[in-house]
């Protein structure tokens, strides 16, 4: 029998992780959380999260880095800012979610074939290359990589969009790509 | 007054009816919108999930170009996603000197200067505050009598900064539609999130949210829903059939607030892009007109 430890020992918590979250814009205030649960209550996505936003804030500040970064929650957050404007302690929960997404990406702990993180990457690359997004192409790419069956179930949708003149595979590009390149290079971490 | 105009990727793609109706309405009111030269994608939520610092520099390029070419003009941004991203960039650069430094250097490499002096405004805000309901009323030639509208604001137009309306109970659109002669139904989900890109990435979640929003409008006996965001419109219109297959029948057209405004001003359905709806609003509009005539 494979017995797994489900609760952490105190010595396994990581202060470094807490400090890192607090060093990112929006994360400064997590220590002020009173665990009231308002954020979880107003969150439209909490029904679908494996940990509620309140739990994420708690675990982040107590140094449960691994659990937080592997949680599906951060990828279910749609950045609707409902939690942020309702939090009685002024914690920018949405920004904390962003910070955790980036930390998960940096460490490579994000769910590999989970469409939300895949889409974020593809989006990033498309902007990097062309300066603009083509939604039809992006959607196609994400479906292809994560759940190609949906291409079949969504065939009707494609037709509807074509009929109404809202579908296009033409990649829009900006003219001054050099300008964009110099803005995006050498800034922050190396590529 | 002249405004600079940032369309963003959606308004050139699946949300083109929004661009068509925004341009038509502003033109009709005699307000000039000048598209920003060679604008780039704002980065939206996805870019920020991958690289925060670069995402601010990416958004700031648009603000810098707008400031350079039209220093006196506020920037009009119809897409809620772009609106919040560009606004956030202005705020964060003000609040965090280290990020300001980064963004300044990045723009400098491209020969751009930015003083962070361009206000980022939503067309709903401009229409309500700068144009005003009196001027809008004067322009109405075909009042929307008998039409019952559920005003749906979604999330990112009012949150987190609340530049021009309440964060959870906004009323701008409500007041506008009443001025156009329409009836506004009580719609408690007016600022509930539409799920964003979840319809594509996690359909079991996204479709459910779409269904809940449409169903609530139907329960409140609205003829149609009005939106201010291309992503909301896309989700609620393009995924309506799939949501209905999964959760039950619902038929609720969703159109842009600028399309309603244009109709009341007597502009043609064609010019306002109404033919681009997948769930057509034409019967709802005709039915309301007929009921009003009786
Ligand atoms: S709403 Fe704020 S204070 Fe309350 S649990 Fe959430 S983060 Fe903590
Ligand atoms: S911003 Fe994210 S965590 Fe906060 S309420 Fe919205 S979906 Fe939930």
Question: What is the C-alpha separation between B258 and B179, in angstroms, rounded?
Answer: 14
Q: What pLDDT is stored for residue B189 in this prediction?
A: 96
Region B16-42: mean pLDDT is: 96
Q: Hey, are the CB atoms on B47 and A127 less than 8 Å from each other?
A: yes
State which of A93, A99, A100 you would mutate to test the pocket of ligand 2, scoring each by most atoms of that ligand within 8 A of its C-beta.
A93
A22: CB partners within 8 A, 6+ apart: A28, A30, A31, A61
Q: Hey, are the CB atoms on B46 and A119 less than 8 Å from each other?
A: yes
Q: Hey, are the CB atoms on A186 and B10 less than 8 Å from each other?
A: no
Tell me how close the Cα of A133 comes to any Cα of chain B, in angstroms: 6
On the question of pLDDT at A191 being above 60, the answer is no
Question: What is the C-alpha separation between B64 and B4, in angstroms, rounded?
Answer: 12
Q: Which residues of B touch A69 (CB under 8 A)?
A: none
Confidence tier at A150 by pLDDT (50, 70, 90): low
Region B119-140: mean pLDDT is: 97
Q: What is the pLDDT of residues B71-88, one digit of tens each?
A: 999 999 999 999 999 999
Output the CA A14–ligand 2 centroid distance in Å: 25
Lowest mean pLDDT among A26-35, A39-48, A131-140, B13-22: A131-140
Output phi, psi for B227, to 5 deg. Answer: -130, 165
State which of A41, A43, A92 you would mutate to test the pocket of ligand 2, scoring each by most atoms of that ligand within 8 A of its C-beta.
A43
Q: What pLDDT is stored for residue A189 in this prediction?
A: 44
Residue whose C-alpha is closest to residue B199's, from B228, B170, B239, B155: B239
How buried is residue B100: exposed, middle or buried, by Cβ count under 10 Å (0-12/13-18/19+)? middle
Confidence tier at A114 by pLDDT (50, 70, 90): low
Q: What pLDDT is stored for residue A146 in this prediction?
A: 61
Output the CA A51–ligand 1 centroid distance in Å: 14
Of B54, B200, B241, the CB nearest to A184: B54
Tokens (6 digits) for B107:
């723009």
Output the CA A34–ligand 1 centroid distance in Å: 6
Tell me how close the Cα of B167 comes to any Cα of chain A, in angstroms: 7
On the question of pLDDT at A15 being above 50, the answer is yes
On the question of pLDDT at A188 being above 50, the answer is no
On the question of pLDDT at A187 being above 60, the answer is no
Lowest mean pLDDT among A10-19, A102-111, B77-86: A102-111
Asked whether the bond before B45 is cis by omega within 30 degrees of 0, the reply is: no
Q: What is the pLDDT of residues B231-253, one digit of tens each?
A: 999 999 999 999 999 999 999 99
On the question of pLDDT at B47 being above 70, the answer is no
Percent of chain B with pLDDT over 90: 85
Predicted structure pTM score: 0.91
* More confidently predicted of A115 and B254: B254
Question: What is the C-alpha separation between B11 and A170, in angstroms, rounded?
Answer: 14
H-helix segments, A88-154: 93-107, 115-130, 135-146, 149-153
Q: What pLDDT is stored for residue B46 in this prediction?
A: 67
ipTM: 0.89
Q: In which element (H, E) is residue B214 found?
A: helix B203-219
* More confidently predicted of A146 and B185: B185
Region B176-190: mean pLDDT is: 97
Output the CA A76–ligand 1 centroid distance in Å: 18
Region B169-176: mean pLDDT is: 97
Confidence tier at B214 by pLDDT (50, 70, 90): very high
Of A80, A127, A165, the CB nearest to B41: A127
Tell me how close the Cα of B174 comes to any Cα of chain A, in angstroms: 21
């Amino acid at each position: 029998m494979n017995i797994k430890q489900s609760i952490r020992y105190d010595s396994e918590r990581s202060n470094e992780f807490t400090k890192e979250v607090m060093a990112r814009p929006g994360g400064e205030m997590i220590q002020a959380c009173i665990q009231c649960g308002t954020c979880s209550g107003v969150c439209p996505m909490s029904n679908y999260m494996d940990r509620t936003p309140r739990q994420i804030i708690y675990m982040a500040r107590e140094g449960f880095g691994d659990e937080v970064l592997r949680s599906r929650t951060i990828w279910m957050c749609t950045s609707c800012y409902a939690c942020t404007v309702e939090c009685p302690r002024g914690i920018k929960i949405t920004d904390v979610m962003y910070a955790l997404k980036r930390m998960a990406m940096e460490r490579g702990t994000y769910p590999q074939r989970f469409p939300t993180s895949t889409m974020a990457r593809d989006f990033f690359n498309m902007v990097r290359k062309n300066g603009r997004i083509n939604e039809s192409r992006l959607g196609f790419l994400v479906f292809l990589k994560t759940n190609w069956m949906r291409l079949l179930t969504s065939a009707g949708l494609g037709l509807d969009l074509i009929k109404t003149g809202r579908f296009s595979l033409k990649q829009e590009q900006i003219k001054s790509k050099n300008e964009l390149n110099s803005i995006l290079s050498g800034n922050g971490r190396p590529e | 007054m002249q405004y600079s105009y940032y369309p963003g990727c959606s308004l050139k793609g699946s949300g083109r009816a929004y661009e068509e109706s925004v341009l038509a309405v502003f033109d009709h009111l005699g307000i000039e919108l000048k598209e920003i030269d060679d604008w780039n994608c704002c980065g939206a939520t996805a870019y920020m999930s991958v690289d925060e610092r670069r995402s601010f520099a990416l958004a700031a390029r648009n603000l810098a170009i707008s400031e350079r070419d039209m220093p006196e003009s506020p920037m009009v941004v119809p897409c809620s996603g772009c609106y919040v991203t560009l606004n956030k960039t202005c705020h964060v650069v003000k609040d965090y000197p280290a990020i300001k430094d980064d963004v300044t250097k990045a723009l400098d490499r491209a020969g751009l200067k930015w003083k962070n002096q361009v206000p980022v405004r939503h067309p709903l805000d401009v229409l309500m505050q700068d144009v005003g309901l009196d001027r809008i009323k004067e322009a109405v030639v075909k009042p929307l009598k008998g039409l019952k509208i559920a005003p749906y604001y979604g999330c990112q137009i009012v949150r987190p900064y609340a530049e021009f309306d309440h964060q959870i109970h906004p009323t701008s659109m409500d007041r506008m539609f009443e001025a156009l002669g329409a009836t506004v139904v009580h719609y408690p989900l007016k600022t509930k999130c539409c799920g964003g890109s979840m319809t594509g990435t996690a359909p079991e979640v996204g479709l459910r949210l779409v269904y809940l929003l449409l169903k609530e409008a139907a329960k409140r006996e609205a003829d149609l829903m009005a939106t201010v965001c291309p992503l909301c419109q896309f989700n609620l219109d393009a995924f309506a059939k799939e949501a209905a297959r999964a959760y039950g029948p619902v038929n609720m057209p969703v159109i842009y607030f600028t399309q309603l405004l244009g109709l009341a001003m007597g502009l043609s359905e064609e010019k306002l892009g109404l033919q681009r709806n997948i769930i057509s609003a034409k019967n709802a509009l005709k039915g309301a007109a007929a009921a009003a005539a009786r």
